[in-house]
Amino acid sequence: MARGKLIVFEGLDRSGKSTQCERLVSYLTEKGVPVKHRRFPDRTTPIGQMINNYLQGQTEQEDHVIHLLFSANRWEAVPSIEADINAGITVIIDRYYYSGCVYSAAKNNPSLSLSWSRHPEEGLPRPDLCLFLDISAEDAAKRGGWGEERYEKQELQDRVRQLFADMRATDDGSDFVTINAGQSLEEVASAIRQHAESCIEAKLDSSPLRR
């Protein structure tokens, strides 16, 4: 049996990741493609609850500690992600280690560089497709809802966008397929469907997930 594919959505806060992730999952499900939808942070686990409390400003965490908790929250899901993919299910994830690295590095902590932030993520399954929903922090902010969680501030989001751009020059950034997320919902969805369908159709039967 052909393995499932690993597809990831990335981008700034309010770039439309969750909306588009849900649309793609319903579209593929209707077409009969076996898919599973996940998100990081996964706030349902004990580690995820610690992350949630931090994001909502109820607790403080040292910068490296919260970085490692976000990373641990991905590692704890790996056995289940691998089991799904080996069972032929395509796993579609809302945010992954790319966010993990850039949001931590955006804090400008001198001992938490983009390259330091990558180390705990080494060895996580690497996506077959990473859809980067590109929008300026200014346009994303117009969509409303900022100000409720810790990182939802224009200045930090501007640094996050710059770091995603810096990441493009690294090996990780070579994964990005950039989608103009400033278009209408339908235009964005249609661009995503094209990339996702060619990824799913690509024959990789004997090729294991990359690391």
Q: Are strands 6-11 and 35-39 parallel, antiparallel or unpaired?
A: unpaired
Contact 98, 146 (CB under 8 A): no
In the list ligand T5A, Na ion, none, the entry touching 65 (Cβ below 5 to 8 angstroms by class) is: none
Residue 91, Cβ density class (10 Å: 0-12 exposed, 13-18 middle, ≥19 buried): buried
Stretch that binds Na ion, among 16-24, 28-36, 115-123, 173-181 (CB under 5 A): 16-24
Provide the token pair at 143: 């969509």
Stretch that binds ligand T5A, among 111-119, 123-131, 164-172, 182-190 (CB under 6 A): 182-190
Residue 61, Cβ density class (10 Å: 0-12 exposed, 13-18 middle, ≥19 buried): middle
Residue 126, Cβ density class (10 Å: 0-12 exposed, 13-18 middle, ≥19 buried): middle
Q: Which of 1, 16, 18, 22 binds Na ion (CB under 5 A)?
A: 18
Stretch that binds ligand T5A, among 23-31, 83-91, 99-107, 109-117 (CB under 6 A): 99-107
Q: Is 52 in the site for Na ion (CB under 5 A)?
A: no
Q: Say how many C-beta atoms besides its own lie within 10 A of residue 65's C-beta.
A: 11
41 vs 127 by CB, closer to ligand T5A: 41
In the range 77-96, which residues lie near ligand T5A by CB under 6 A? 94-95
Q: Specify the residue for token string 């976000």.
A: 70
Alpha carbons within 13 angstroms on the beta-carbon side of residue 123 total 8
Q: Which residue is nearest to Na ion (CB)?
A: 18
84 vs 94 by CB, closer to ligand T5A: 94
Q: Is 117 in the site for ligand T5A (CB under 6 A)?
A: no
**Shortest Cβ distance from residue 17 to Na ion (Å)?**
5
- x/- mask, ligand T5A, residues 10-29, rule CB under 6 A, reads -x-xxxxxxx----------
Of 9, 12, 32, 5, give the one whose Cα is nearest residue 20. 9
Contact 145, 137 (CB under 8 A): no
Q: Is 61 in the site for Na ion (CB under 5 A)?
A: no
Provide the token pair at 93: 């994830």
User: What is the contact surface with ligand T5A in residues (CB under 6 A)?
Assistant: 11, 13-19, 40-41, 55, 70, 94-95, 99-100, 103, 143, 149, 151, 184-185, 188
